[in-house]
Amino acid sequence: QRGVPVEIIKLYGSIELAPIVGLADRIVDLVSSGKTLKAHHLVEAEVIAHSTARLIVNRASLKLNHQVITQLIARLDAGCRQMNGRPRSRKAR
């Protein structure tokens, strides 16, 4: 959209090191707290997308494994609250 020529290179692991070792001028990464960016002296230039994590099960699996899935959801909720004080969004069941 901006006319900036790019070459996309798939990297795995600590991609924050790519600019430091001269492998890339810029990187695209998922950022949660920003601690890793700060640790590597990087700054967020622009938000290019927002994402969310979803637990998805098919209806048959939900019926057959309802108790196990409900327990998993409860554990995930507890983990989310512990991390940031907010439970997950409860959209569809």
Tell me the CA distances in angstroms from 10 to 14, 29, 49, one per residue in order: 12, 11, 18
Query: Domain residues of the chain, as ranges?
Result: 1-51, 52-93
What stretches of 1-93 show up as alpha helix (H) in DSSP? 17-20, 35-39, 59-64, 66-84
Higher pLDDT, 89 or 8: 8
Distant-in-sequence, close-in-space partners of 1: CB < 8 Å, separation ≥ 6: none
pTM of the model: 0.53
Query: What tens digit of pLDDT does each residue of 18-74 get?
Result: 988 998 888 888 888 888 888 888 888 888 888 888 899 999 999 999 999 999 999
Is residue 92 scored above 60 in pLDDT?
Answer: no
